[in-house]
Amino acid sequence: MPAIDVAGEFETIRRLFAPLAHPEWGRGLLDDVAVVPSKPGFDLVLTKDTIVEGVHFLPTDPLDTVAQKLLRVNLSDLAAKGAEAFGYLLSCGWSERCGWPEREAFAQGLARDQKAFGVALLGGDTVVTPGPATFSLTLMGWTPKGRAVSRGGAQPGDLVFVTGHIGDGWLGLEAVQDKTSLDMERVAALVEHYRRPVPCTDFLLPVRDMATASIDVSDGLIADLGHLASASRVAVDIDLELTPLSGAAQAWFEGRVDPQAALEKLVTGGDDYEIAFTANPRDEPALRREADRRHLRLTCLGRVTAGKGVTARFGGEPVAFETSGFTHG
């Protein structure tokens, strides 16, 4: 049976999404385009992510958190480039479970995050589907001309850093599926991270100013460092025992009988949305000052060397991973 559109495309746009539109550039969502004035001396930076029910979020996840996760994973991409986001295009493929209350919740989640992160809706599309709910978002931002940080600038001798904590995304998925025995407070923190990860937008300016190469940690720390190493045509050598863990992840880790295997899970699980980047050692003191000013944890995991690929060590010995992280197919 085909999905039923509970309100119609234009009613959904008028009632839910027009209030989210940029007051000038979005044209009230009454046109087929958005018009964004150019900024002399700046580059337009764009990113796009799609999330699918049953693949990137669970059928039981509230749709307000689904909307927020969709926006935040894109914000994480731009933050890793040193870009300041301003607006986005949205595509909604509503499934049969997406009645009017669910659509309202989705729009309310976007409204909260638009205010928190200073972005606005510019346009998009909304359809119904007999398949799983599918949402796609294209986020746009600015950097000063030529300053967007790529994956390809790492040099031998650079240090390898990561912001925040690693492993909470994978543990959050375990928690939301009742696969962990942690106390309720820690489970709640992990579920919150899984459903509403916090992109590291506060650190985008230091990344822009001092990183030689950068990537957001979405597929897993090892996989994403591998992407960076490949683009830069270098090797990355890190110490697994330096992996920064949150309080909840540390509590889970302390209960494991095989610490190496536990760390392997945390660094390949993905959905962390931190920034992994490389920088010249001379910039480490300034990077740490900037992190301290923002009350942000910053960890040096290792170093860039000549060669290729990622070498992760535990107890000084290289670790062989069965998988380096999530793949999208």
- Walking along the chain (329 residues) 10 residues at a time, the average pLDDT comes out as 55 84 77 69 90 92 97 96 95 94 96 97 92 96 92 97 97 92 94 96 97 95 95 97 97 94 96 97 98 98 97 95 63
Residue 49 among known ligand-binding residues: yes
Nearest partner of 187 among 197, 167, 173, judged by Cα: 173
To the question of whether residue 297 is assigned a binding role by annotation, the answer is no
Ligand-binding annotation for 47, yes or no, is: yes
Q: Which CATH number fits domain 159-318: 3.40.50.1820, 3.30.2130.30, 3.50.50.60, 3.90.650.10?
A: 3.90.650.10
- The answer to whether 219 is a known ligand-binding residue is yes
Domain-by-domain residue ranges, the chain? 9-144, 159-318
User: CB-based contacts of 62: which residues, under 8 Å, 6+ apart?
Assistant: 105, 195
Residue at 203: amino acid letter: F
56 annotated as ligand-binding: yes
DSSP structure string for 186-229: HHHHHHHHHHS----GGGHHHHHHHEEEEEE-SS-HHHHHHHHH
Domain 9-144 and domain 159-318, same fold? Reply is: no
Q: Is 77 known as a binding-site position?
A: yes
pLDDT for residue 3: 46
> CATH code for 9-144?
3.30.1330.10
Q: What is the pLDDT of residue 32?
A: 59
Residue 106 annotated as binding?
A: no
43 known ligand binder: no
Q: Is 258 annotated as a binding residue?
A: no
Structure-derived torsion over alpha carbons of residues 272, 278, 279, 280, reported in degrees to the nearest 10 = 150
Does 193 count as an annotated binding residue?
Answer: no
pLDDT of residue 203: 98
pTM of structure = 0.90
Say what the pLDDT of residue 1 is: 39
239 is in an annotated binding site: no
User: What is the pLDDT, as a whole number, of residue 282?
Assistant: 98
